[in-house]
Amino acid sequence: MIHGVIMAGGSGTRFWPMSRKKNPKQLLSLTGSQSMIQETFGRLAASIPPQRIYVVTNAEQTAGVLEHLPQVPRANIVSEPCSRNTAACIGLAALRIAAQDPNGTMVVLPADSYIDRADAFLDVLNTACAAAETAGTIVIFGIPPTFAATGYGYIQRGRQIVETNGVKLFDVLRFREKPDQLKAAEFLESGEYYWNSGSFVWKVSTIMEAFAEFMPELHSALGRIAAALGTPRETEVIAAEYERLPNVSIDYGVMESARNVKVIEATYGWDDVGSWRSIENLRRRDADGNVVDGNHIAIDATNCTIIGEGKHLIAAVGVDDLVIVHTPDATLVCRKDRAQDVKKIVDHLAELGLHEYL
Amino acid sequence: MIHGVIMAGGSGTRFWPMSRKKNPKQLLSLTGSQSMIQETFGRLAASIPPQRIYVVTNAEQTAGVLEHLPQVPRANIVSEPCSRNTAACIGLAALRIAAQDPNGTMVVLPADSYIDRADAFLDVLNTACAAAETAGTIVIFGIPPTFAATGYGYIQRGRQIVETNGVKLFDVLRFREKPDQLKAAEFLESGEYYWNSGSFVWKVSTIMEAFAEFMPELHSALGRIAAALGTPRETEVIAAEYERLPNVSIDYGVMESARNVKVIEATYGWDDVGSWRSIENLRRRDADGNVVDGNHIAIDATNCTIIGEGKHLIAAVGVDDLVIVHTPDATLVCRKDRAQDVKKIVDHLAELGLHEYL
């Protein structure tokens, strides 16, 4: 059987002031009327029943996740005691699934990516699952690059393995870390590279064997956690093991070493919604190039992203290329090409001890 | 005796969203800890007792004025039924003073100008009063221009009449309407011109005679109002007369025609606080050239005016030359050199019928 895992541990500081510790990016409706986690859930729920969909999150966000996904059983919301990157997160989810269905297959998706066509995603998912189930393959979703991005890892493809319903699966030649501008341009030009979107499909047994081979420390910790699952010591054991776990991504810990990794070519549009700047690509712009949401008046304002809420009115006069976001207790005004630096505000607030705004 | 009149009828739409119909510019603390009307009152109260200080305002602002100036007797707050420019406003105040003290002298000041040195203002006021009392002169306060402003009327001085304590009084050669840039530069260069600051001193009898000669329509309306003052018909008569009064400024209606007008040279710094842009000249800038008031974080923000209130946090990243003003129900983000266009927002809101933001 196929199981879905949504990784929802991110804090999304780059969407401050809308994203907060208790209301992170995945709980925001940044790209449509649903929150990002609801959209991700909807994509999985098209082919997987909610009883087999898991969410890995943290204590601070559990209440929000439950509220956004009432269809998911409470027991399927897995709460990490602290953040230890994607390998640990995936390991914890794999344990839960293995306890129910040791022969099962798992799809792992970040909660906070944007995908434009649900039907195309479903075709890719089906082909990926078939490959993972029949050949014990680790399948990674590769996004054909649309520009020379320096913010993503890249995957160089090898030989084509199969094409099903127009969906192509390739061998992986190698993984490349986030490149500089020159390398990124080369990758784009060659047509052989994909962005690593952090989405995967594998059998539970496949990923567990990979942990045993490439991340033995994590594997044995997972073994100790497995023994405590369902006992009164569960929470305590998870907390103790997590404390000592290495902070390693699944890409670095497993993907770059494993031999049976294939890349499946996404036929849908994708965006990691990495900052306020992303929003302009994912929403309709008005005639002046503005993306607006909420009560506003714009006079000679162009190419701005203006987001308010409720009855609060935002008036913009003579400004260009700004991001303006109003929330009840904080307002952001940021030059669009500095959207990455919104994170610095959050860092600064933390330094100042102004936790009420975090 | 000397009486003070504060003209406080302006709506100050250019300080939206802080200025509103019921909370206009003169009730805002734009330049210091006191509201502008409190500062104006304070300047007069240094030499005139509150019982002889009058405020002309309108029905919507009366409550606010009373709250800001509890020292002024309720009966001295004169409420205009509708706005008919400065000639009518001054006429109505003159009637009240004439009823108490027909031989009195009146000082007329706008409620919403900034003056930097109260002691220098007092010296100028004393010299002006002496001139008005002894020679039946109309004295107008002239501000030595500091730049080639196109937004003010100018007064060309003639022969010097007197100098008292370093304060100089001149004949007026002529009044000039708001000039174009070229003319303004000429006026500045010549050293013979002053800005008309809209502040005056005269005897009540002098201004009444001037109304009789140059604005007979207003003069006879004032006569009918005078007959009704203190009777049950007072409000009704004022409303009926005001309805028909010409909308004429004291400058156009009297100053430009009267022969006995003199200009007194201001020895203090003055600013009409005409828009959000003015604020940067009247408040302390920080090391990045920002003027800030309220809770804020600025990262690489320069030459901005950032004004918030209460605990609401304004975060500015990578922006220059902006005015950012937050109030509970509306936020303004405006390029500084477009500050004059804030008025357009107010016009637009009125057109849309969004009265709650006006």
Query: What pLDDT shows up at residue B93?
Result: 97
B306 and B206 in a common domain = no
The residues, ordered by sequence, that sit 6+ positions from A98 with a Cβ below 8 Å of its Cβ are A104, A204, A205, A208, A226
A212 and A74 belong to one structural domain: yes
Nearest-CA distance B286 → chain A (Å): 19
Amino acid B135: pLDDT = 84
Give contacts of A298 with chain B, Cβ < 8 Å.
none
Contact check, Cβ <8 Å, B345/A315: yes
Nearest chain A CA: its distance from B317 CA (Å): 5
- How many domains does the structure of chain B reveal? 2
Residues A220 and A117 reside in one and the same domain: yes
Q: What is the least distance, in Å, from the CA of B302 to any CA of chain A?
A: 12
Contact list in A for residue B349 (CB cut-off 8 A) is 297
Query: How many other CB atoms are found less than 10 A from the CB of residue A214?
Result: 18
Q: Choose one of A256, A271, A286: the last residue of a domain.
A: A271
Distance of CA A292 to the CA centre of its chain: 25
CA A295 to centroid of chain Cα atoms: 30
Same domain, B81 and B148: yes
Closest partner CB to A317 (pick from B299, B328, B342): B342
Q: How far is it, in rounded angstroms, from Cα A153 to Cα A184?
A: 10
Cβ A297 vs Cβ A319: under 8 Å: no
- Would you say residue A228 has pLDDT above 90? yes
Q: Which residues contact B197 (CB under 8 A, 6 or more apart)?
A: B110, B113, B141, B142, B143, B266, B270, B272
pTM for this entry: 0.89
Whether residue B317 and residue A349 make contact (CB cut-off 8 A), yes or no, is: no
Residue A235 pLDDT > 80: yes
- Classify residue A126 as exposed, middle or buried by CB count within 10 Å of its CB (0-12, 13-18, 19+): middle
Q: Where are the beta strands (DSSP E) in chain A?
A: 2-7, 53-58, 77-80, 105-110, 114-115, 138-143, 154-164, 167-176, 193-203, 261-265, 270-271, 291-293, 296-299, 305-307, 313-317, 322-327, 330-335
**Residue A221 scores a pLDDT above 90:** yes
Q: Which residues of chain A does B341 touch, with a Cβ-Cβ cutoff of 8 Å?
A: 299-300, 317-318
Could you tell me if A218 and A313 lie in one domain? no
| Residue B236 sits in the same domain as residue B339 | no
Q: Can you tell me the distance from the alpha carbon of B61 to that of B22, in angstroms, rounded to the nearest whole number? A: 6
Q: What is the mean pLDDT of residues A91-119?
A: 96
Structure tokens at A86: 């994607």
> In a 3-state reduction of DSSP, which class is residue B162?
strand
Residue A314 and residue B335: Cβ atoms within 8 Å?
no
Distance CA A331, CA A86 (A): 32
The neighbouring-strand residues paired with A106 are A3, A202
pLDDT digits (tens, 9 = 90+) for B138-173: 999 999 999 999 999 999 999 999 999 899 999 999
Looking at the predicted complex, does its ipTM rise above 0.95? no
Q: Which of B271, B287, B304 is the last residue of a domain?
A: B271
- pLDDT tens by residue, A251-279: 999 999 999 999 999 999 999 999 999 99
* pLDDT of residue B11 exceeding 80: no
- State the average pLDDT over residues A110-120: 94
Of all residues in chain A, what percent carry a pLDDT higher than 90? 91
* Contact across the interface for A348 and B314, Cβ inside 8 Å: no
Same domain, A55 and A184: yes
Last residue of a domain, one of B249, B271, B293: B271
How high is the pLDDT of residue A215? 97
Flag if B335 and A319 touch (Cβ within 8 Å). Answer: yes
Whether the pLDDT of residue A12 is over 90: the answer is: no
3-state SS of A67-122 is HHCCCCCHHHEEEECCCCHHHHHHHHHHHHHHHHCCCCEEEEEECCCEECCHHHHH
CA–CA–CA angle A56, A339, A59 (5° rounding): 20
Q: Verify that B254 and B286 share a domain, yes or no.
A: no
Verify that B214 and B289 share a domain, yes or no.
no
Residues of B in contact with A331 (CB under 8 A): 308, 312-315, 324, 326, 331
Task: For residue A348, give the nearest of B297, B329, B334 by CB distance.
Answer: B297
The residue type of A272 is: D
Q: A289 and A157: one domain?
A: no
Whether the pLDDT of residue A250 is over 90: the answer is yes
Task: Note whether A337 and A247 are same-domain residues.
Answer: no
Q: Are B333 and A313 a contacting pair at CB < 8 A? A: no
Considering the domain architecture, whether residues B135 and B81 belong to the same structural domain is answered as yes
What pLDDT does residue B36 have? 96
**CATH at residue A151:** 3.90.550.10
Range of the structural domain that residue A211 is part of: 2-271
Q: How far is CA B54 from the centre of its chain?
A: 14
